[in-house]
Every structure is written in C-alpha cells, then in structure tokens.
Amino acid sequence: MFTTGRIIFALVFALSFIGYLIWAYGKDAKLSKKYYKGSGIILLILIGIWLLFFGFVRLT
C-alpha cells in the first residue's frame, strides 16, 4: 500500500510545507503587528456581546 517512494515523497512534502509555513509566518508577523493592532480588543468585545446574547436567550 505505502511504497518507499510514497513515504519519502510524503516526508519531503510535509517538511517543505512546514518550512514554508514557518518562513511565511515570520515574514508576515511584522505586518500583522502594524495592521491588526487593536484586533484583540475587538475580539473581546465580540465575545462579550455573544455571551450577553447567550445569557438573555437562556433567561427567556
């Protein structure tokens, strides 16, 4: 079912893909800090609104 060639291909593909993801994340991390500065606060506000909505639905 799994030949030696397929296993080698899968390992090389997985390692190169993971390496590319690490490289792309490192490159994009600088821009993320600049453009998504207040996104954590917005996320907390949205979670709070969702929790309020969930609480109101449970009370009725």
**pTM: predicted TM-score of the whole model, two decimal places:** 0.52
- Collapse the DSSP code of 60 into the 3-class scheme (helix H, G, I; strand E, B; otherwise coil) and give the result: coil
The pLDDT, as a whole number, for residue 60 is 67
Domain spans, the chain:
4-59
Question: What whole-number distance in Å separates Cα of residue 51 and Cα of residue 60?
Answer: 15
Question: What whole-number distance in Å separates Cα of residue 32 and Cα of residue 26?
Answer: 10
List the pLDDT tens digit at each of the 60 positions of the chain. 889 999 999 999 999 999 999 999 888 887 777 778 888 899 999 999 999 999 998 886
The pLDDT, as a whole number, for residue 31 is 78
